[in-house]
Amino acid sequence: MNKQKDYLKKIHAETKKIEIDKWYEGLRTHNDPGEKYIYSWIDEHGEEFHIKWLNCKCRTCTKSDICGYSEVEQCDKYNEDKE
């Protein structure tokens, strides 16, 4: 995968992950956590997400949108892709 395409996929994955986590936080608190949550997520989890992203199967998985970019090194859905 070329660098630009990989970078765009990472940004897409990070955005989806933030949306998922924000949605769960909204369910937990029974309200929309708002834009402040996004900045907070980036500060608290952005670097960790980047490090995990470099090692995870999601980078090359066609099903990563389905599982919510779990940043896992081993994934049953990933293996289904290769069969």
The residue behind tokens 């896992």 is 72
Count how many domains the chain has: 1
Residue 10's nearest CA partner among 74, 77, 79, 56 is 56
pLDDT at 12: 85
pLDDT at 22: 95
Domain extent for 75: 3-82
pLDDT at 83: 44
Average pLDDT per block of 10 residues along the chain, 83 residues long: 80 89 95 95 92 76 63 61 47
| Dihedral sign (CA 63, 65, 68, 70) | positive
